[in-house]
Copies of this chain bind each other. A is one copy, B any other.
């Protein structure tokens, strides 16, 4: 047990499969640790301290860069499935045997593949702003959305305002508060290389192109899943969250109003309450009332 917070915990490194993974680990041991799987172009610094510090009150939080991302070694592979193998290498390097996961956007795709490959490892899964393999518009952004990822800003973190938040006064205000939170940490992560970004883009396109209207792939995810999104996700359209709920064996769906691809950053307090109810419910299993 440490008294570190999101902003004060040192970055550490774990070696596995010839790769040096950068990670930050803090919070209260006891329950299964909660691992956050990061989105396209995201580093350790793009996780929200409002979330990790809130969860850290009663569980361990692990933030990490997957292979080839920012301060981690190795290279970013060009498939989601290979990213999942790298993430499993990382969890094995830490000796983790049971984890809960919050996967956001591309991180939600990787998290699904981890849970399919290692059902013994992942206990419960929270999927935010993401979708199924072969989902609607995944890795096939409209040009105006794709352009948002290459815009230059005086403070580059401001790029997330139109990508993660809705174009309303309320959502943009929540977005500015999020950006203030993520720039607060003094000790910054490294940026992503152009190669890493290109490989992530290729992986997203390939995953989105693997169409199957029956979404049979999701039947391999037999753990309890909480699917969360904003009402109008411009990066991975919100209908994908509905599809996840409809085709996963045991999934709950929560959609928040007036929100986009970063709904959990817009409503951190509400998201933590909802996620805690889901993560801490006993008994597990579809159909039974945990209340």
Contact = CB atoms under 8 A, between A and B. Distances in A.
Nearest to A54: B291
Report whether over half of chain A's contact residues are helix, strand or loop; otherwise say mixed: mixed
Max chain B Cβ within 10 angstroms of own Cβ: one of A267, A285, A291: A291
B291 A166 contact: no
Question: Number of copies of this chain in the oligomer?
Answer: 2
Nearest to A232: B246
A256 interface: yes
B171 A287 contact: yes
Interface string A152-196: 000000000000001011110110000000000000000000000
Contacts of A274: 274, 277
B270 A287 contact: no
Contact of A269 (B168, B249, B253, B289): B289
Contacts of A272: 291
Given A253-B253, A273-B277, A258 B231 contact: no
Interface residues of A, number: 42
A238 B249 CA distance: 16
Nearest to A242: B242
Contacts of A249: 257
A288 B257 contact: no
A43 interface: no
Interface string A247-279: 011111111111100000011111111100100
A177 to B, nearest CB: 9
Given A255-B252, A286-B257, A291 B268 contact: yes
A258 B273 contact: no
Given A252-B254, A269-B290, 18 more contacts: A173-B287, A174-B287, A231-B245, A245-B255, A245-B257, A248-B257, A250-B257, A250-B258, A251-B257, A253-B253, A253-B255, A258-B286, A267-B290, A268-B289, A270-B277, A270-B281, A270-B289, A274-B277
